[in-house]
Structure 1
């Protein structure tokens, strides 16, 4: 265990270490063998801690988060707090297993729900996957249907299970819940962006704050999320594309370098993150070319 944590520390920006109060209790992302993944150079959790852990510990935190809030169209105003791997313990969306957000930044006027990606694409809805019985709980459309797994009739299999996504989707994505949508507007990795957008809407209502959902990503031509940002994180036919705002790690650090007092800190983080992105990009190129 000690060696495992040492490997993780070596893969995290030294300035971010203080953001993790209890290394054993921290909700690390793990593989099927229960091994911590943050020691890997391409770990999305690690690069999120690099950036937002450093920001959490920085005396520049409030002015930088004010600038990011203004950039995404919500009110600025500190003091700001940053929680890494925040879990919706209030179960605002009625999920049996509440969404765990990579980063929640909360100020006095607004909250930022931040999903962090590196070399991986977004997650997809499990309801269209073939179950062990060989059936799909959803046919891939938002339309009146019966879930063969539980016999519940609903337009969305998740709605039939009491999950409240479609209470917030109409406003967040400007979609009419009273009409069919074929295919479902939350198909593919748009599902993960939807979950963060509706959680932001739920937090805004619950806390009486403004809120925005952000997709923090590593800008590199070979990374799936970076490529998706160019086309739009959700289907272009969905009018509420502004429900989630993409912002690259490089842009976040550029804001920090522009506003921050401690230039040595932000220049060091910039070099650290750039090196990680270059290594991960080279790794993907080698895998693609069969090296």
Structure 2
């Protein structure tokens, strides 16, 4: 099947185009009818490619990522590489379907796992929704329970399936794996942030690098992730150092303009992203829950 990418290209910042080596095989986000969504004004994948695709191809990449690393609390040090729509093929967390992150930045001393949001909130755990049997596999609390579909007893249905989130959660979020939590701390949209935080920890351990999970978001008061970031609610209520560091696209571009040499590039990208945010915020996207 030959696809027409004209509308997608028009919705992506021109300097980011070269970051996509094969437009046909790139893992585009699709809707329920299998249509690529990156042509839409509010596509979170498109704005992620705008920023991180441009950064990937820029001669300022090492300078900017060093500055971002310092901003989120890990060691600077290049050379840096960026992978868009990176998948954990090593299955470090034991997931049957490995987590795919919007961008992965790897330097000589640290790795950044980057989840990107535009107008949509974080994703929720599917185990509390009705399964094919008509019953949810989890009651929404982290307590000793039996999965009605499999008969497996565990505090977390996913742990009962061999998924290793709760092997890393105690280190990342300072939660007690043998305590009861009602409701589960990750029953809502904290689930997606948790997955990225524990994946960052697993990658850092596996590669012997410092690691950080980053929530990149479009900063506008009408967007759910931006509101949560402003109120320190992305991983609120957990002890220890913040597990996820929110940083807006606007701040990322400001960092690039501050440390980068290609001022024209970053000025143009700033205007492009600002225009996208203005267009998206002028309409009601509060009900958008897909990642575009």
TM-score range, shorter chain: over 0.9
Separation in structure 2 between the aligned mates of residue 221 and residue 6 of structure 1, nearest angstrom: 31
TM-aligned CA deviation for residue 33 of structure 1: 1.2
Relative to structure 1, is the Cα distance of residues 286 and 234 closer, same or farther in structure 2, using a 3 angstrom cutoff? Answer: closer
Separation in structure 1 between the aligned mates of residue 60 and residue 267 of structure 2, nearest angstrom: 14
Residue 12 of structure 1 is matched in structure 2 by 12
Query: Bigger shift: 214-223 or 129-138?
Result: 129-138
How well do the aligned residues superpose, as a CA RMSD in angstroms? 1.6
Separation in structure 2 between the aligned mates of residue 204 and residue 236 of structure 1, nearest angstrom: 23
TM-aligned CA deviation for residue 235 of structure 1: 5.4
Separation in structure 1 between the aligned mates of residue 250 and residue 26 of structure 2, nearest angstrom: 26
Relative to structure 1, is the Cα distance of residues 286 and 206 closer, same or farther in structure 2, using a 3 angstrom cutoff? Answer: closer
Gaps of 5+ in 1: none
Structure 1 consecutive aligned stretches of length 4 or more whose deviation exceeds 6 Å: 285-288
Q: Equivalent residue of 1:283, what SS?
A: coil
Native 8 Å contact 2:60 2:261 kept in 1: yes
**Match status 1:256 vs 2:256:** yes
Residue 27 of structure 2 is matched in structure 1 by 27
TM-aligned CA deviation for residue 228 of structure 1: 1.2
- Deviation per CA, 1:27-62: give whole Å up to 9, x if none: 000111111100001000000000000000000000
Q: Equivalent residue of 2:113, what SS?
A: strand
Residue 224 of structure 1 is matched in structure 2 by 224
Residue 61 of structure 2 is matched in structure 1 by 61
TM-aligned CA deviation for residue 132 of structure 1: 3.5
Separation in structure 2 between the aligned mates of residue 278 and residue 4 of structure 1, nearest angstrom: 27
TM-aligned CA deviation for residue 286 of structure 1: 10
Report the count of equivalent residues.
288
The TM-score with structure 2 as length reference comes to 0.95
Native 8 Å contact 1:256 1:266 kept in 2: yes
Relative to structure 1, is the Cα distance of residues 234 and 249 closer, same or farther in structure 2, using a 3 angstrom cutoff? Answer: closer
Native 8 Å contact 1:41 1:280 kept in 2: yes
Residue 129 of structure 1 is matched in structure 2 by 129
TM-aligned CA deviation for residue 4 of structure 1: 3.0
Q: Equivalent residue of 1:215, what SS?
A: strand
TM-aligned CA deviation for residue 136 of structure 1: 1.2
Native 8 Å contact 1:173 1:239 kept in 2: yes
TM-aligned CA deviation for residue 187 of structure 1: 1.8
Separation in structure 2 between the aligned mates of residue 3 and residue 262 of structure 1, nearest angstrom: 33
Separation in structure 2 between the aligned mates of residue 233 and residue 241 of structure 1, nearest angstrom: 14
Relative to structure 1, is the Cα distance of residues 221 and 21 closer, same or farther in structure 2, using a 3 angstrom cutoff? Answer: same
Relative to structure 1, is the Cα distance of residues 73 and 241 closer, same or farther in structure 2, using a 3 angstrom cutoff? Answer: closer
Residue 192 of structure 2 is matched in structure 1 by 192
- The structure whose residues are more often helix, as a share, is 1
TM-aligned CA deviation for residue 233 of structure 1: 3.6
Native 8 Å contact 1:234 1:241 kept in 2: no
Native 8 Å contact 2:224 2:286 kept in 1: no
Residue 142 of structure 1 is matched in structure 2 by 142
- Deviation per CA, 1:219-269: give whole Å up to 9, x if none: 001001101112334453222461000000000000001111111100000
Relative to structure 1, is the Cα distance of residues 263 and 95 closer, same or farther in structure 2, using a 3 angstrom cutoff? Answer: same
Native 8 Å contact 2:120 2:286 kept in 1: no
Native 8 Å contact 1:104 1:111 kept in 2: yes
Separation in structure 2 between the aligned mates of residue 139 and residue 286 of structure 1, nearest angstrom: 27
Which fold has the larger relative contact order, with Cα–Cα distance below 8 Å and residues 6 or more apart in sequence? 2
